[in-house]
Amino acid sequence: ALVLVSVERLAAGRSRRGQRQKTPNPPPANLLDAVEAAGGSVERIERLAPIEVPRWISARARLHGVKLDADAMGSLASAVGSDTERIEQEIKKLGAYAGDASVTAADVRALVSGAIEADVFELTQAVVRKDTRTAMATLERLLTDGNAVQQILALLLWQFRVLLFASAMRSNADAERMAKAIRSSPYAIQRATAFARRVTRADVLRAYEAIYAADQVIKTGRAESDVAALSLCVLDLCGVANADLRDMLLV
């Protein structure tokens, strides 16, 4: 057999034999050690808890010279959750739009993606409390803002699904897992926890039936109008008598 040997490697090998080999430094145990070994530093930033979001928004708005009224702050918190980068972006956008004026909840609804979810969450809160006046006022606002009936129904169904998952939450880790399971955010799960305690599994199943009935009544043209069907659905969820759309499906 013919063996080819690199002259350069052979010479290098001979020179190393006369040298004492140095023991290499052990590799960093983890990313934190690697950063510190390179002369850097790591700052740990925890995810904002739901209760901290409004305070964070208020502080960032003051920093950027943006005035937010209380309703606008609540709407923005509900729309963006604990995403600090998005909070920063939305505050700058709202500030550029409002100028020297105060940002209102209507501005948030018009400019911030996800604001409809905040309004539907408010609607869900109202029906869970059986607060018919607030529920109907919120529904009217959603419709006045141009939101489609089917979109409101779909989001209402999703909010009850969130309530069902939130009722089983025992820790922040649970919120993370549940958020992934239903493609939501941990903020949405944690935000719903307080109201989830008022809702039983039977309540959620009953809400599913009411929303499904409204959807079928609309699709089959059995209601006077889509808005009328949605309004009856909300009244039914609030516990108002003679608003059950399931009766129409039996005709």
Do 119 and 210 reside in the same domain of the chain? yes
Question: What pLDDT score was predicted for residue 223?
Answer: 84
HSE toward the beta carbon, residue 134, CA cutoff 13 A: 13
Count of domains for the chain: 2
Query: What pTM was estimated for this model as a whole?
Result: 0.63
Do 132 and 67 reside in the same domain of the chain? no
Do 147 and 241 reside in the same domain of the chain? yes
The domain in which residue 75 lies consists of: 50-111
Distance between CA atoms of 80 and 75, rounded to whole angstroms?
Answer: 9
The 10s digit of each residue's pLDDT in 183-193 is: 666 667 777 77
The 10s digit of each residue's pLDDT in 31-81 is: 667 767 777 666 665 667 777 888 999 999 999 999 999 889 888 888 887
Helix (H/G/I), strand (E/B), else coil: 68:
strand
CA torsion 190→192→194→198, rounded to 10°?
Answer: -140
Q: Is 167 within 8 Å of 197 (Cβ atoms)?
A: yes
The 10s digit of each residue's pLDDT in 199-235 is: 888 888 999 999 999 999 999 988 889 999 999 999 9
CA torsion 54→145→162→188, rounded to 10°?
Answer: -20
Do 242 and 135 reside in the same domain of the chain? yes
Entry field: residues in the chain: 251
Helical spans, DSSP H, in the chain:
7-17, 31-37, 53-63, 70-80, 84-98, 105-111, 115-129, 132-144, 149-166, 172-181, 186-196, 201-219, 226-237, 246-249
Do 60 and 94 reside in the same domain of the chain? yes
Closest CA to 106 of 231, 84, 98: 98
Closest CA to 68 of 29, 97, 40, 32: 97
Do 231 and 185 reside in the same domain of the chain? yes
27 within domain boundaries: no
